[in-house]
A and B are shown apart, each in its own frame.
Chain A
Amino acid sequence: MSKMIRLSLGPILYFWPREQVLSFYEQVAESPVDIVYLGETVCSKRNLLRTDDWLEIAARLRGAGKEVVLSTLALLEAESELKRLRRICANEGYWVEANDMGAVQLLQGRPFVAGHSINIYNVKSLSLLAEVGMRRWVLPLELSERALTDLQDGRPQGVETEVFVYGRLPLAYSARCFTARAHHLPKDDCQYRCLDYPDGLTLATQDGARFLALNGIQTQSSQTCNLLGQLNVMRRLGVDVVRISPQSANNHRVVEIFRRCIDGELGLDAGSEELARLMPVGPCDGYWHGEAGMKQTADSARELLGS
């Protein structure tokens, strides 16, 4: 019998006020997720919580029975960022999620998670990282079910697979802060404008289609990736963990829907219908089906079936 898929909550990708973060994780402690990824992964200027604060939240969540992983910055540019990274990587208590090869270098020889911004496109890469200590990897966002099938076939022993199944997709990182740019501010004097956009700042095309969400130096999809309907396929492929990426509103309802679907208390169609009401700009699932990431394939299939 296959193991039960575990549910994880990714790191908060946005800049929320300290109180909001603390109360968010108070709720997470009570929520039915199994694994929580903690820490700042986007911008080192977002400093309302320090490493010690994150460690305190980590202890609280572990006390509530959660597995905690400390997540790290994806784009490392300054020595100060490396310094913080070294401290996180040297911690004794928790696994660390590497989001850059610099973190992999520091984590060699100890168990770690390779996040979705580590480029793992083939079995050779998977095996090489397993050799240096990787115990879990997150499927790169642009890869499909077919690519995952191939990777699962050659997956080394003792390595778990995680898939990003719900949330706005992080698509790119830059030296430039696009939120500051939208306010005609230089990054060095950004006035922490990201605080005004708890789910990112919407970028639309000139013909009015909501297209992307600007999140500081990160660019996200404005559509919410939703792969709830693929849970059975993932179970069959031996996926160990599915990840929900936090949003400021309705996060705990999303977690609950996934939990009930995983536990078989709620059908996938009914769950998808409930989720559809919780997405700010609608769903997308194209990457999973080997198409443009912004496409929504499941819905169009349903329309064809006339249901």
Chain B
Amino acid sequence: MMELVCPAGNLPSLKAAVDNGADAVYLGFKDDTNARHFAGLNFGPAKMSEGIAYARNKGTKVFLALNTYPQSGGWPRWRSAVDGAADLGVDALIAADLGVMDYVAERYPALNLHLSVQGSATNYEALRFYRERFSVRRAVLPRVLSLPQVQHLVANSPVEIEVFGFGSLCVMVEGRCILSSYVTGQSPNTFGACSPASHVEWKDGRNGLETRLGGVLIETYGEGCNAGYPTLCKGSFCVGGNTYHALEEPTSLNTLEILPQLQQAGVSAIKIEGRQRSPAYVSQVTRVWRAALDLCASSPASFAPRPEWKAVLDRVSEGTQTTLGAYSRPWQ
């Protein structure tokens, strides 16, 4: 049975995930050692101990994300984050950087190591490297493979595979996208955030409300339109005389439709994106996915997503729409 891995941006979200049926939650420290380095988010040491105890008590695993790339000056911070995680006894560490993984493998060989999506491994030769060098047990796949490619990769993978099931959609291969730092100086790899809020501006312009990132116009909203967050790759731009969402629309990934195929392929876990979202989001999404995974496990042949599931997920999606993303060839 596939494991359900849910986001916990803070203690209320962690409890929401645990209470609604997550098999595992993932979380991070309150600094740039993880890829959701947002103000007001994540865990200090006390809250983290409390969260881990709460999850343990209900039989839910805890994964700690340490998935950014330390530069020389930052190394002590990452090292103490690894040490802290090992002390807390988390069930797995999710890492991306070669140096961090090397340290974990050498210092804490018994600690489960997962390759983060930020590690950017899209093929089984790369996975073999991480398995052989660092004894990585599981890898989270970037959102770039079609369903047949995922099936082929799982069949040849030396490690367990976790894939994204639902949430905000990265259009680019994770871990190798520097669009955010091109515009703001800060990227997921270096700073733990994409399109960081500190560089966002909202301003009334000639054609409506303008949103900018690092001074670059990302979107213009006419009267009556709901303004969204200016994530760089989801803006409207002009190419060849046309103005449109040149890279991707504001939309979320949703793979409910292909759940039986993912299960059949041997995928080990489904990840829900959204540590930056509210506890209400985590409750609703976890509940839907718990029900879906249970149904898929018990009757894969007749499995079909229920309309009420889709209604719940659409409501909490970016732009209130969802896509299969790269899993579906036409999307590419």
- The chain A residues found within 8 Å of chain B, CB to CB, are 74-79, 81-82, 85, 100-106, 108, 117, 119-125, 128-129, 141-143, 147, 150-151, 153-154, 169, 171-178, 181-182, 186-188, 201-209, 211-212, 214, 219, 221, 286-287, 290-294
Which one of B73, B129, B145, B332 contacts A104 once the chains associate, using CB atoms below 8 Å? B129
Q: Does B295 sit within 8 A of A, measured CB to CB?
A: no
Segment from B86-94, B116-124, B312-320 that makes contact with A: B116-124
Closest to B329 in A: A188
Within 8 A of A (CB), among B131-179: 132-133, 143-146, 149, 152, 171-173, 175-179
How far, in whole Å, are A65 and B246 apart by their CA atoms in the complex? 43
Give the CA-CA distance A287 to B218 in the complex, in Å. 21
Q: How far is the CB of A171 from chain B (nearest CB, A)?
A: 5
The interface residues of chain A lying within 8 Å CB-to-CB of B309 are: none
Contact of A176 among B121, B171, B179, B216 (CB under 8 A): B171
The reply on B322 being an interface residue by CB < 8 A is: no
| Residues of B contacting A: mostly | mixed
Q: Complex formed: what's the CA distance from A177 to B329 in Å?
A: 11
B130 close to chain A: CB less than 8 A: yes
- Least Cβ–Cβ distance between B153 and chain A, in angstroms: 9
| CB contact under 8 A between A75 and B182, given known A119-B97, A177-B332 | no
B236 within 8 A of A: yes
Contacts of A293 in B (CB 8 A): 178, 181-183, 185
Question: Among residues 208 to 237 in chain B, which have CB atoms less than 8 Å away from a CB atom of chain A?
Answer: 214, 216-218, 220, 233, 236-237
Residues of A contacting B181 in the complex (Cβ-Cβ under 8 angstroms): 142, 287, 292-293
Query: Which of B69, B183, B332 has the most CB atoms of chain A within a 10 A radius of its CB?
Result: B332
Check B179 against A123 for contact (C-beta < 8 Å).
Answer: no
Name A124's contact: one of B99, B124, B171, B239 (CB within 8 Å).
B99
In the assembled complex, which residues on chain A have CB atoms less than 8 Å from the CB atom of B242? 182
Chain B residues, Cβ within 8 Å of A125: 97-99, 102
Provide 24 A-B residue pairs closer than 8 Å at the C-beta atoms, listed in order of the A residue.
Answer: A75-B144, A76-B126, A85-B125, A102-B123, A102-B124, A102-B129, A119-B96, A119-B97, A119-B120, A121-B69, A125-B102, A128-B133, A174-B144, A182-B240, A186-B329, A188-B329, A203-B239, A204-B237, A205-B237, A206-B220, A209-B217, A292-B214, A293-B181, A294-B216
B158 to chain A, nearest CB (A): 11
New A-B contacts (18) at CB < 8 Å, excluding given A76-B125, A171-B182, A211-B216: A74-B176, A100-B122, A101-B129, A102-B129, A105-B126, A121-B189, A125-B99, A150-B72, A171-B177, A172-B172, A172-B173, A182-B242, A186-B329, A201-B240, A206-B217, A209-B216, A219-B247, A293-B185
A101 to B173, CA, bound (A): 13
Tell whether, in the assembled complex, residue B69 and residue A128 are in contact, meaning their CB atoms are under 8 Å apart. Answer: no
Cα separation A178 to B331 with both chains bound (whole Å): 11
- Is B70 within 8 A of A119, CB to CB? no
- Verify B183–A122 contact, CB threshold 8 A: no
Is A105 touching B128 in the complex (CB atoms < 8 A)?
yes
> Within the assembled complex, what's the spacing in Å between the Cα atoms of A293 and B185?
6
Residue among A74, A77, A201 with the most chain B CB within 10 A?
A77
